[in-house]
Structure 1
Amino acid sequence: MKGQRIRIKLQGFDYRVIDQSASEIVETAKRSGARVSGPIPLPTHIVKLSVNRSPHVDKKSMEQFESRTHKRLIDILEPTAQTVDELKKLNLPSGVDITINV
C-alpha cells in the first residue's frame, strides 16, 4: 500500500472524546509502522438558535441555544496491511462520527 494515504475525519459535540479517539488512532497507526500526520484541528461549526420563551407575544423574551461540532483530521501516510487490520479492531466511543477516505 505504498504511496497511498488514509484520511480519517472525526466529528463530535464533545472535544474531549474526539481528542481521546484521535490519540488512540495515532498510537495504533504508529505502533503498526505507518507515518501519521495530525491530529489537525479543523474549524468548529457553531449553530445558534433563538426561540421565543412564550408561545404568544413578548418578542423581547427569547432563549438562545447553540450546538458546537468539533472536528479533527488525521492523515495516515504509507499505511501497511497491519495498520488497516489494527484500525478495524479499534473500539471508539459512540459520541464520535468517523469518516474514512482511502
Structure 2
Amino acid sequence: MEKIRFKLKAYDHRVLDRTVASIVEAVKRTGSEIRGPVPLPTKKRRYTVLRSPHINKDSREQFEIRVHVRIIDIISATPETVDSLARLDLAPEVDVEVRSLGK
C-alpha cells in the first residue's frame, strides 16, 4: 500500500475534467481510497504583440493562455489499482505527472 499523487495540466478544462473522471472511476472500481480532484488556481500567461513592428506602436494585440491544474491523491494504492491506471487511455492534450509519496 502506497500513496500516489497525480498532477494533471491542460489548456482545455473540459478535456481535463473528462480525464480526471476516468482516473477516479478506475480507482474506485479497484476499491482504493482517493482524495480529490483538487482544482488548483488557473495560471494565466498574457502576451502583448505589436501588430505592425515598424510603425504604430499604439496598435497592439493581446493573447492569453490559461493552464488548468488538478491534483488527485490515491491513499491506499494496491497492485490492482496500479495495473488499472496503467491500462487507461488518457487524452494526449493532458500532461500527467505521477509521483509516489511512499508509505
Give the TM-score taking structure 2 as reference length.
0.95
What residue number does 1:79 align with? 77
Residue 32 of structure 1 is matched in structure 2 by 30
Moved over 4 A (4+): none
Counting aligned pairs with the same residue, the percent is: 47
Residue of 43, 58, 62 corresponding to 1:45: 43
Q: Deviations over 1:38-94 (max 9, x none)?
A: 110001111000000012121110000011000000000111110000000000111
Q: Which runs of 5+ in 1 are unaligned?
A: none
Show the counterpart of 1:17.
15
> How many pairs align?
100
Choose which of 65, 88, 97 in structure 2 pairs with 1:90. 88
Q: Tell me the secondary structure at the aligned position of residue 78 of structure 1.
A: strand
* CA–CA separation in structure 1 for the residues paired with 2:53 and 2:44: 26
AA in 2 matched with 1:33: G
For residues 43 and 54 of structure 1, the distance between their equivalents in structure 2, rounded to whole angstroms, comes to 34
The one-letter code matched in structure 2 to 1:69 is: V
Give structure 2 stretches of 5+ with no counterpart: none
**Counterpart amino acid of 2:51?**
R
Separation in structure 2 between the aligned mates of residue 5 and residue 44 of structure 1, nearest angstrom: 25
- Quote the RMSD (CA, aligned, Å): 0.6
